[in-house]
Amino acid sequence: MHIAVARPSTFSSHEVSKSSIAGFGSTIKGPSCAKLKSSCHIATTQLSYQNVKSGGLRFGKMITKAMSDSSDTKPLPGLPIDLRGKRAFIAGIADDNGYGWAIAKSLAAAGAEILVGTWVPALNIFETSLRRGKFDESRVLPDGSLMEITKVYPLDAVYDTPEDVPEDVKSNKRYAGSSKWTVKEVAESVKEDFGSIDILVHSLANGPEVSKPLLETSRYGYLAAISASSYSYVSLLQHFAPIMNPGGASISLTYIASERIIPGYGGGMSSAKAALESDTQVLAFEAGRKHGIRVNTISAGPLRSRAAKAIGFIDMMIDYSLENAPLQKELSAEEVGNAAAFLASPLASAITGAVVYVDNGLNAMGVGVDSPVFKDLDIPRADKH
């Protein structure tokens, strides 16, 4: 599925083929927002685009459309992704152009209530942007309504409890005015506000020395990457699992550098992603046995997000993927969001401990077919026009 906003000026014509439709509805309740009523109609469509401004290749998409009807509680036809009545906590959203935001939109389109944990130093800018409507365009769901975020919590997942926070951080002006932002405190606040959740999403990563080769990475930089990018997931599950309903799902985001050499992705970040994937398997067993929760991770391809640009070579990785992946198209954040919605849904009720690749198939490649070595081979290429 690909979530898209249909605008009259964007599509000149469309042809519906083998359409299967399913309706979703939900009412989001929360102390600080209006009710969000949304539902989805899923249809396989083939669209003919004209005058579409896009940096990627043009390609057919499956469109998820949301239609409002929260009062409809009858069983849905077909095989829908139905998250009505479910509540999701997404840790790590600080803007509107990353995978975390896309996952929130997909979950909302399927009927889930959205709670967000935002890094404390970015909290004020994020909430101000939301309040002033700067994110309104990217909040638009397929039915034209705006995704509602029931509540935004300050969060710094590097610290588990208040006792773990050093004095220099407590006195840092970037943390002034915020309270109860350690993992334990946020889980307690969510329990106090809402009682329980059904979906936990870890969209966090940080490597202060990511631009350094591993051979030049300091112990501090290496351990900081592990702490923020992998142990933070262990901590989140440790504190949130007790308030997750049985049958719930937890999802994190990883990267192919966990198992393949990606020059330039340094500072211990490749090690952190490898740890995250290993922990996913162990946590799937432990959280599954103790809490009845599924634990999976999505290995997503490169995306031009603000966070990814900090690495410094994201454009090269996107170009490499376009040339070498089985599917020659630029990966969209919505495609990762929709994969997460599937993993969080009852349709994936037997899937746990898995690394799910959403990267246009790049993970399957053994060589880069754009190499001059293969110039004499007749290698199929996508029509970019």
Is 320 tagged catalytic?
no
Q: What is the pLDDT of residues 239-248, one digit of tens each?
A: 999 999 999 9
Mean pLDDT for 26-49 is: 37
What pLDDT score was predicted for residue 376? 87
Active site residue: 222, 255, 320, 357, which one? 255
Cα–Cα distance, 349 to 285 (Å, whole number): 14
List, in order, residues 6 or more apart from 318 with CB less than 8 Å away. 302, 303, 304, 330, 331
Residue recorded with tokens 């009852």 = 346
- Whether the pTM exceeds 0.75: the reply is yes
Q: Is the sign of the CA dihedral 213, 215, 221, 223 positive or negative?
A: positive
Contact 121, 94 (CB under 8 A): no
Is 255 tagged catalytic?
yes
How does residue 11 score in pLDDT terms, banded at 50, 70 and 90?
Answer: very low
Mean pLDDT for 276-281 is: 98
Q: Which helix (H) or strand (E) holds 277?
A: helix 269-291
Cα–Cα distance, 148 to 106 (Å, whole number): 12
* Tokens representing residue 91 in the block: 């840790």
Radius of gyration, alpha carbons of the chain: 21
Active site residue: 153, 231, 233, 265, which one? 265
Q: What is the pLDDT of residues 281-313, one digit of tens each?
A: 999 999 999 999 999 999 999 987 766 666 667
Cα–Cα distance, 378 to 342 (Å, whole number): 37
Contact 23, 69 (CB under 8 A): yes
Mean pLDDT for 194-201 is: 98
What pLDDT score was predicted for residue 360? 96
